C-alpha cells in the first residue's frame, strides 16, 4: 500500500470509529504533514482519495470537513447492514458511490429505448428533513420532480427528486424526458463527485402500482440518495423505487 493510501485509510478508520465526527474539521495540510511525517503532495493525494470515497469535502476558504454520512441513516430510521452476518431480506445497505451515471447513462449502451413519464415538475419549499440533506433552509426553493423511467416503454422505476433552485438554474421540463445529470454536467459544467445511498425493500403504494403497472403491495427496491458535487455541496435528494421483478440494480463502490 502506498503512503497516501495508508494515510487515507487511517483517517477513514478515525471517521468510522467516531474519533472524527460528522461535520468535524480536519487538521490543515501542514498539520497532517507534521503528524504523518510526509510531504504536502502525499497529504493532498490522501485527501483527494477520501474525497473520492465520499467521506470528506473541502469548503473554499474554510477547510476540509467530514461529511455527515450518518444523518441520512438516522433520519430514515435505518441501520447499516452487518456484512458479517446472514441478515436476509430485512437487511439494509448504506453505499457511498462515486459513480455519476444516472438511468439514461446506465442503459444507453444496451440498445434499449429510454423514455420518461413526468407526473410533477414544480418549484416548492422542501420538507425540513430534505432541506437538512441539501444543506439549505426549509424556506428556500427547490425543484420537485416526480417521474417514471421506462425501458422499451415498460415502466421500471419511479423517482421523487428535490434539487436546489439556486444551485441548478434553468432546468426545464423538457430536460426531464432526457438526462438531468447530462444537463448538470455538460450544460452547467458541474462535476458530480459522490452519492450516499440507502437500499431497502418497500411495498408499492396504490398510486405507484398504477404508474408502474404492478399490484399494490408488490415488492420494490427503494434507493434513498443524496448526491454531492466535487466541492461537497449536495445537489440532489431523491428516492427511487424500482419495480421488483423487471431488472436489477448494480452499484459500484470504490474502497
pTM for the full predicted model? 0.64
CB 232 within 8 A of CB 226: no
Per-residue pLDDT of the chain (255 residues; tens, 9 = 90+): 789 988 988 998 888 788 888 888 899 999 999 999 999 999 999 998 888 777 888 877 778 988 875 554 444 443 333 333 333 333 333 344 444 556 766 666 667 788 999 999 999 999 988 998 888 888 999 999 999 999 989 999 999 999 999 999 999 999 999 899 999 999 999 988 888 888 889 999 999 999 999 999 999 999 999 888 877 788 999 999 999 887 666 554 443
Q: Catalogue all structural domains in the chain, each as residue range(s) with its CATH number.
A: 3-67 (1.10.10.10), 73-243 (3.40.1410.10)
Round to whole Å and give the CA distance between 209 and 27. 50
Query: Residue 20's pLDDT is what?
Result: 86
Round to whole Å and give the CA distance between 20 and 127. 29
Query: Residue 141's pLDDT is what?
Result: 96
Amino acid at each position: 500500500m502506498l503512503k497516501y493510501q495508508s494515510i487515507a485509510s487511517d483517517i477513514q478508520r478515525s471517521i468510522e470509529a467516531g474519533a472524527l465526527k460528522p461535520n468535524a474539521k480536519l487538521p490543515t495540510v501542514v498539520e497532517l504533514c507534521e503528524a504523518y511525517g510526509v510531504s504536502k503532495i502525499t497529504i493532498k493525494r490522501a485527501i483527494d482519495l477520501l474525497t473520492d470515497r465520499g467521506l470528506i469535502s473541502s469548503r473554499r476558504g474554510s477547510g476540509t470537513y467530514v461529511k455527515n454520512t450518518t444523518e441520512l441513516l438516522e433520519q430514515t430510521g435505518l441501520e447499516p447492514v452487518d456484512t458479517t452476518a446472514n441478515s436476509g431480506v430485512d437487511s439494509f445497505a448504506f453505499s457511498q458511490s462515486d459513480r455519476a451515471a444516472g438511468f439514461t447513462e446506465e442503459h444507453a449502451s444496451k440498445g434499449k429505448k429510454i423514455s420518461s413519464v413526468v407526473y410533477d415538475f414544480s418549484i416548492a419549499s422542501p420538507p425540513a428533513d430534505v432541506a437538512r440533506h441539501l444543506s439549505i433552509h426549509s424556506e428556500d426553493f427547490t425543484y420537485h420532480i416526480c417521474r417514471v423511467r421506462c425501458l422499451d416503454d415498460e415502466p421500471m422505476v419511479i423517482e421523487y427528486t428535490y434539487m436546489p433552485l439556486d444551485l441548478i438554474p434553468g432546468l426545464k421540463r423538457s430536460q426531464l424526458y432526457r438526462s438531468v445529470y447530462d444537463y448538470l454536467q455538460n450544460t452547467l459544467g458541474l462535476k458530480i463527485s459522490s452519492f450516499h445511498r440507502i437500499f431497502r425493500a418497500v411495498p408499492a403504494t396504490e398510486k405507484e402500482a398504477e404508474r408502474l403497472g404492478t399490484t399494490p403491495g408488490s415488492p420494490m427496491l427503494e434507493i434513498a440518495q443524496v448526491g454531492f458535487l466535487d466541492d461537497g455541496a449536495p445537489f440532489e435528494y431523491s428516492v427511487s423505487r424500482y419495480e421488483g421483478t423487471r431488472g436489477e440494480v448494480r452499484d459500484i463502490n470504490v474502497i
